Structures are given as structure tokens and as C-alpha cells.
């Protein structure tokens, strides 16, 4: 029996900075702790924006139990990296960025163009 496919998660677009490390130590000499973009997004929504877990779950399109798991694993990895002097790398996953609309009426989702009606292609 095959496992159930992972559900896509709605995440805030990431600014591109995906490494955080202790100051003054070259990245090449550090251990790297990887944190998923979905874990990062769950922490951002709950800890930075101050949303309840149920509100965060709705924004990301997942269950409250999933948010709880993401928060627990993300916080553990982040605090572990900080307390052990490791670099922290934010990696991708199954996530969808909100649609971006441009002046021409076209939208982009996950790097692929689509028309304003939501149909793909040129």
C-alpha cells in the first residue's frame, strides 16, 4: 500500500536568504541544520504574526495537527542550531506561493506563467 501523498501548503514567498549562520565562522566549516519552508512558515505565522494555530492552519491549507507538528519540529531544529553553533538552511518542499498579478493581467504561480483566468500556458 502506498502512502498518502503530501498535501500542498500555502506559504508566504521567501525572500531568497536561505542560510543563517554564526558570525565570523565560514559556512564551509559549520554543520548545517535544514528546516523546511513549511516549518519556517508555521513559525512565522504563529510566532511573528501572532496567529493562533487554527488560523495558521487555515492560511496554509493544512490541519491544526499538522501546524502543531511543523511548529514542534521547526522550533527544535532552530533552537538546536542556535545552541550548537550550526548553520541553519531553509529548504523547499510541497508548498504553493500566492498568485502574483502583473500589470499585463498575467499571473505567476511557482514560477510558471498562467493567464488571468487561471489556465496555464502562453
- The chain-wide mean pLDDT, for the chain, equals 77
87-122 pLDDT tens trace: 999 887 655 555 444 455 555 554 444 333 334 443
Q: Is the pLDDT of residue 82 over 80?
A: yes
Closest CA to 33 of 80, 97, 92: 80
Helix (H, G, I), strand (E, B) or coil at 14: coil
Report the percentage of the chain scoring pLDDT > 90. 49
pTM (2 decimals)?
0.67
Helix (H, G, I), strand (E, B) or coil at 97: coil
- Residue pair 25/81 in contact (Cβ under 8 Å)? The answer is no
Q: How much is the average pLDDT of 50-63?
A: 92
Domains of the chain and any CATH numbers: 17-91 (1.10.10.10)
Report the percentage of the chain scoring pLDDT > 70. 64
Amino acid at each position: 500500500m502506498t502512502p498518502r501523498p503530501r498535501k500542498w501548503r500555502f506559504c508566504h514567498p521567501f525572500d531568497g536568504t536561505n542560510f543563517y549562520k554564526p558570525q565570523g565562522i565560514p559556512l564551509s566549516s559549520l554543520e548545517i541544520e535544514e528546516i523546511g519552508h513549511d516549518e519556517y512558515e508555521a513559525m512565522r505565522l504563529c510566532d511573528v504574526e501572532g496567529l493562533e494555530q487554527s488560523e495558521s492552519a487555515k492560511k496554509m491549507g493544512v490541519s491544526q495537527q499538522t501546524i502543531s507538528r511543523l511548529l514542534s519540529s521547526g522550533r527544535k531544529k532552530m533552537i538546536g542550531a542556535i545552541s550548537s553553533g550550526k548553520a541553519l538552511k531553509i529548504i523547499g518542499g510541497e508548498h504553493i506561493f500566492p498568485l502574483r498579478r502583473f500589470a499585463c493581467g498575467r499571473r505567476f504561480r511557482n514560477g510558471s506563467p498562467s493567464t488571468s483566468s487561471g489556465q496555464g500556458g502562453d
